[in-house]
Structure 1
Amino acid sequence: MPNAPAATEVGRTVGASRLTVLSGPSGVGKSTVIAELRKQRPEVWLSISVTTRKPRPSETDGVEYHFVTDAEFDRLVAEGQLLEWAEFAGNRYGTPRVPVVERLRAGRPVLLELELNGARQIRTTMPEACLVFLAPPSWEELVRRLSQRGTESSEVVQRRLETARVELAAEKEFDHTIVNTSLEEVRDRLLTLVTAPSNGANARR
């Protein structure tokens, strides 16, 4: 990959297109909302992360993730090619800088789905980004959603809930909060934010 532009250069070259980050606790429905949004507006580009995790049988390189070796990931980090990255369950995940910048320069709205630490890193690397927090209607509803997934042990669910408390406490760090009470309403509100022109500064609401 070519050397990535610095964050200040990115801010000058993306024009009126907007980078939006959607974050929120596990189980709040981020992926569902994004899938619904892109059904209606497929021109919204969803960044594909790189990961050192091995692909699952149903996964295809370049679709769910870009699968790379540890050495390749190290190189991407060393060269500043990742807007953000984190380690989870022994594997690393990151957002490639160049594809995001290229889409923004081309005038396409770009959407990232990230956890709290990733969103914080984006605030530093691309301060013009719009950070959106997706909140559950209530703590009880979030507990219900995580508990009824049926795909994780009670210990994993408990760890996710402990992390969710930290994430919910960070809501004030975001530019906008959307409460996930209705899929259609959340989709429409997020779409308004994603497609709004970027002015390089975000008024917190």
Structure 2
Amino acid sequence: MAGSLFIVAAPSGAGKTTLVRALLSRDAAVRLSVSFTTRAPRDGEVNGVAYNFTSVPDFLARRDRGEFLEWAEVHGNYYATSRNWLEEQLAAGHDVLLEIDCQGAAQVRQIFPQAVSIFILPPSFEVLESRLRGRGTDSEEVITRRLVGARDEMQQVDQFDYVIINNDLQVALDELSTVVRAARLRTPLIRVRYPQSFLPAV
């Protein structure tokens, strides 16, 4: 595998999507894996850019054909990562970022143990709750469900290689960029990309 695989997970409201978008704007070499989902598009979301939006029957058919690297049901909706697209990108030497939930992250790490996993934490649970309520887009029932899920996800933080606390967006972005740059310098990847720099084995 010539490219690096990055897994970014976080509880809802931690600012994961904002950070990932900022990273992609800063580092054009990172490609975002566009997940499949059965949830309805939100305002401004474009099919094929934010997600590959699909129906439940189509999603389940794709899953049964083995098209997904991982899949999960989150807050009543299905999400999945395309296996073929991801493997093609990595084989071609491209860096790929997966923005997924903890359940999906665990599945991907089993298949790609060399993946770099990053967990985004809010400064505190109270700040997380304030952010979710401040959106003004979800019902109290949805907010309560997300908070329950967030508590469970935040308990899984030790399963990740790196943790970034998103208190200051610019600082968090710099830290995320640092992880990405350092990962590109791992010895096995450099050997593949620059074989001429290495002496033959004795």
Give the alignment's TM-score, normalised by structure 2.
0.83
Q: Which residue of 1 aligns with 2:115?
A: 129
Structure 2 CA distance, aligned partners of 1:89 and 1:143? 17
Give the 3 Å change call, closer, same or farther, for CA 136–98 of structure 1 in structure 2. Answer: same
Q: Which residue of 1 aligns with 2:138?
A: 152
Give the 3 Å change call, closer, same or farther, for CA 72–193 of structure 1 in structure 2. Answer: same
Tell whether 2:159 aligns with 1:164: no
Tell whether 2:3 aligns with 1:20: no
3-state SS of paired residue (1:61): coil
Tell whether 2:93 aligns with 1:120: no
3-state SS of paired residue (1:42): coil
3-state SS of paired residue (2:66): coil
1:31 Cα deviation after fit: 0.5
3-state SS of paired residue (2:135): coil
1:199 Cα deviation after fit: 5.6
Q: Which residue of 2 aligns with 1:86?
A: 72
1:52 Cα deviation after fit: 3.2
Determine if contact 1:110/1:194 at 8 Å carries over to the other structure: no
Q: Which residue of 2 aligns with 1:61?
A: 47
Runs ≥4 residues deviating over 6 A? none
Structure 1 CA distance, aligned partners of 2:34 and 2:125? 30
Structure 1 CA distance, aligned partners of 2:66 and 2:109? 16
Letter in 2 for 1:163: G
1:103-129: CA deviations, max 9, x gaps?
112222111111111111111222221
Q: Which residue of 2 aligns with 1:139?
A: 125
1:51 to 23, 30, 37: 37
Aligned length: 186
1:129-156: CA deviations, max 9, x gaps?
1111101111221111112111111221
Structure 2 CA distance, aligned partners of 1:26 and 1:97? 25
Structure 2 CA distance, aligned partners of 1:68 and 1:139? 33
3-state SS of paired residue (1:148): helix
Determine if contact 2:75/2:145 at 8 Å carries over to the other structure: no
1:59 Cα deviation after fit: 4.1
Determine if contact 2:9/2:16 at 8 Å carries over to the other structure: yes
Q: Which residue of 2 aligns with 1:32?
A: 18
Structure 1 CA distance, aligned partners of 2:75 and 2:23? 29
Structure 1 CA distance, aligned partners of 2:127 and 2:45? 30
Give the 3 Å change call, closer, same or farther, for CA 199–99 of structure 1 in structure 2. Answer: farther
Q: Which residue of 1 aligns with 2:192?
A: none
Tell whether 2:62 aligns with 1:76: yes
Question: Which deviates further from its counterpart, 178-187 or 74-83?
Answer: 74-83
Determine if contact 1:109/1:194 at 8 Å carries over to the other structure: no
Letter in 2 for 1:106: A
1:37-84: CA deviations, max 9, x gaps?
111112210010112345567544322222334443233222322111
3-state SS of paired residue (1:85): strand
Letter in 1 for 2:37: T
Give the 3 Å change call, closer, same or farther, for CA 199–93 of structure 1 in structure 2. Answer: farther
Q: Which blocks of at least 5 consecutive residues in structure 1 are unaligned?
A: 1-13, 201-205
Q: Which blocks of at least 5 consecutive residues in structure 2 are unaligned?
A: 189-202
